[in-house]
Amino acid sequence: MKIFSVEELQNIIRNLIIGEFNYPISIKGEVANPRVSPRGHQYFTLRDGDGISQSSINCVIFNGQLDQNIKDYDTKEVLINGNIDLYKGNGNCQIKVADIAEYGEGELKKSIEQTRLKLEKEGLFEHKKLLPKYPKCIGLITSPDSHALHDVCSKLKSRYPISNIIIYPSLVQGRYAPNNIIKQLIRCNKDKDVDLILLIRGGGSLEDLMAFNDENLAREIHASELPVVTGIGHQPDITISDYVADASLETPTAAAVYITPDQFELLQRIGDAEERIKSAIQLKVKYKNDQLLNRVMKIQNYNPSRIINNLKDMRNNIDKNYHNVVKNILNELNAKSAHQLIRLKQTKNILTEKVTSTTRSQKNTLNEMNQKIISIIANRTSTYRTLLNELVSYNPQEVLKKGYSIIRDLNGGLVKSRHDLDKIQSFSAEFKDGVTIVKKPSSIK
């Protein structure tokens, strides 16, 4: 009998387990006791979620293997993919997890999210079409026997009864629903009988609403030339059709309210508009009446008899004003003449007095001038006589009469000293009775 060591036994068991399965394997269960090691490895227990079985198995997600946080799946039913292995430390089996996702609705949500991200990257959620403000005709795509259709029609009739409604019956649940809805969308766009399309469905589970998460349906909504408004499910429900639609509301009734104006608000606005129009008309009429009165007055102003009367009045006023002006001018001239006469008399007296005074002053001035002239002449005569006597006394002829003579050289220059006389041989001597030439003897030097 062979005796195995613990390690040998664990290796045999491990090889048996590894060789038993085609890897990876998928296991469904409920996550329990999630935890993260200091090294970043995530550990949890996967157990049956029926509440009866006590079976469980340990699982590990090695650090860097997945981006998910295992604690987000606590107590949730998941589907994992991975390899089973035997941990030699304690001999327990564990699953090395390669992928994890919620099971059931969780798987559906994962698929929906992948589709949503794909369409979002392609830009299908952008460029929303404008909705008509007052739709004349509304196309309803929904189940013909649904409560949603009844509620929406009732709301549209009570809120905006002038709008027509065309129902395009379609499946809204099950595998054939997406194609059925697509056909009706194409029909609406082809017929062009409606202004917008209302795609509605009542509430339900995630599986019930999966038709509105169809990728082809989303693409057809985006391609629609007519604006598409969705009202699918209840408030928490959001489908891919909601993302791609031109507007999405939380319920079918809310969608009906969103796309239509309230008739009572319209009536109120119409009433307000009528009041404004009435006021504007009244103001316009008043303005025209005022214009008419002004024109009538202008016509009356141009009436010939009125013009003649006005001209007569103007003439009378002019004559009256003329007489008043002439009278005022004459009075003013008379007053000025009297004033000027008084001033002339005063000026005459002043001038007479000034002439008398000036004549008297002129006589006095003339006498003074005569006295001054006589005095000046006497003074000048005395001075003249004195100067004349002096001039006569300085006359050379007068000196010669006294026995003097004037000696000149033959050039007429004066000989003023004996030294000058010694230099010349001949000279002239002027006496009172004439001039004689004198030649010095040669012996005289």
* Mean pLDDT of the 355-371 span: 87
Residue 299 binned pLDDT confidence (cut-offs 50, 70, 90): confident
The pLDDT score that the predictor gives to residue 106 is 63
Q: What is the mean pLDDT of residues 108-113?
A: 78
More confident residue, 313 or 261: 261
In Å, what is the CA distance from 365 to each residue of 234, 257, 351, 368?
137, 127, 20, 5
What is the C-alpha end-to-end distance of the chain, expressed in Å? Answer: 203
Q: How confident is the model at residue 400 (pLDDT cuts 50, 70, 90)?
A: confident
Confidence band, pLDDT 50/70/90 cuts, at residue 153: very high
Mean pLDDT of the 353-362 span: 86
CA distance 383 to 388: 8
Over range 301-329, report the average pLDDT: 81
The chain-wide mean pLDDT, for the chain, equals 87
pLDDT at 52 over 80: no
pLDDT digits (tens, 9 = 90+) for 251-270: 999 999 999 998 888 888 88
More confident residue, 169 or 320: 169
Instruction: Read off the pTM.
Output: 0.46
Q: Which pLDDT does position 442 carry in this prediction?
A: 66
Q: Which residue has the higher pLDDT, 135 or 296?
A: 135
* Candidate from 188-202, 263-277, 387-401 with smallest mean pLDDT: 387-401
Domain boundaries, the chain: 6-103, 137-260, 280-324, 399-439
Judged by average pLDDT, the poorest of 27-36, 68-77, 143-152, 394-403 is 394-403
96-100, 248-252, 318-322: range with lowest mean pLDDT: 318-322
For residues 33-49, average pLDDT: 91
What's the confidence (pLDDT) of residue 54? 78
Q: Please state, in angstroms and rounded to a whole number, the distance separating the CA atoms of residues 180 and 220.
A: 12
The answer to whether residue 443 scores a pLDDT higher than 60 is no
- Asked if the model's pLDDT at residue 230 lies above 90, the reply is yes
Round to whole Å and give the CA distance between 285 and 272: 20
pLDDT band at 78 (very low <50, low <70, confident <90, very high): confident
Q: Cβ of 345: how many Cβ atoms within 10 Å?
A: 10
Sign of CA dihedral 387, 389, 393, 396: positive
Lowest mean pLDDT among 30-44, 190-204, 272-286, 425-439: 425-439
Is the separation of the CB atoms in 160 and 263 below 8 Å?
Answer: yes
Instruction: Quote the percentage of the chain above a pLDDT of 90.
Output: 35
Q: What is the pLDDT, as a whole number, of residue 255?
A: 94
pLDDT exceeds cutoff 60 at 444: no
How much is the pLDDT for 105?
A: 61
Residue 196 has pLDDT above 80, yes or no: yes
Closest by CA to 115, choosing from 262, 14, 243, is 243
The residue with greater pLDDT, 440 or 42, is 42
CA dihedral (163, 169, 174, 180) positive or negative: negative
Please provide the CATH number assigned to the domain covering 6-103. Answer: 2.40.50.140
For domain 137-260, the question of CATH label 3.40.50.1100 is answered with no
Q: Please, what's the b/e burial string for 63-85 (b: 16 or more CB within 10 A of its CB; e: otherwise)?
A: eebeeeebeebeeebbbbebebe
Top-confidence residue, 63 or 208 = 63
**How high is the pLDDT of residue 223?**
95
Residue 51 has pLDDT above 70, yes or no: no
Amino acid at 363: K
d(CA 135, CA 154) in angstroms, rounded, equals 16
- Position 46: which residue type? L
The listed range with the strongest mean pLDDT (258-262, 351-355, 361-365) is 258-262
